[in-house]
Amino acid sequence: MKRDIILAGVGGQGILSIATVIGFVVVDQGLYLKQAEVHGMSQRGGDVQSNLRISSDPIYSDLIPAGQADLIISVEPMESLRYIPFLSRTGWLITSTAPYVNITDYPENDVLMNEIRKVKNHIAIPADTIAKEIGSPRSSNIVMLGAASAYLDLPFEKLEEGIQKIFGKKGEKIVESNLKALHAGRDFAKSYIA
């Protein structure tokens, strides 16, 4: 088993909470993990990514080799495209459609969506809207995780367990809304590719 995942977004959007849930499951399953993060300057509103490598065999490189990523999970549409050179020909691009505009030359939405549609295996999710609809606007990250869940090769109920474990400290309400977000994301992805 091997999954190379690029998590993408803008500094401050909190892509690492997605990584934390996946990391919990990976350790629980006794798999190997390497997770390279971006700290420092870029966290101030710049582009950030995390390389998440999961394998049943020991992993050498902390970085995913170019053209080998199985998944790009992005919480921002333009950022999802920044890592295209890393995506394998059979890989999936799973992105939120909610733009984060903090630059003056941010592309038009149509142009962006056209590029995303050019990727054969893609899922574009209005994660922010879904999170709002289920009454949990801050859980759009977990909506993204839910949408990607079918491609992780990890048991879904373990992801649920991870959310309970990680958000448990913050109270039952937060756990519930994140579980809801996880399911909503999964359901959306199912209908998207159906």
CB of 139 to another protein, least distance (A): 19
Residues in the chain: 194
**Residue 66 binds another protein, judged by CB under 8 A:** yes
Residue type, position 182, single letter: L
* Pick 1 or 66: Cβ nearer another protein: 66
What the block records as the tokens of 8 is 């993408």
Taking the complex as a whole, the smallest distance from the CB of residue 66 to another protein amounts, in Å, to: 4
- Over its C-alpha atoms, the chain yields an Rg (Å, rounded) of 16
DSSP state of 152: T
Q: Which stretch binds another protein (CB under 8 A): 33-41, 137-145, 155-163, 181-189?
A: 33-41
Give Cβ neighbours of residue 165 (< 8 Å, ≥ 6 apart): 24
Nearer to another protein, 27 or 190 (CB): 27
Q: Report d(CA 31, CA 140) in Å as an integer.
A: 27
Total number of residues that touch another protein (CB under 8 A): 51
Residue with tokens 């990523």: 69
List contacts with another protein (CB under 8 A): 10-11, 23, 27, 32-47, 51, 57, 59-63, 65-68, 78-79, 81-82, 84-89, 102-107, 111-112, 115, 118
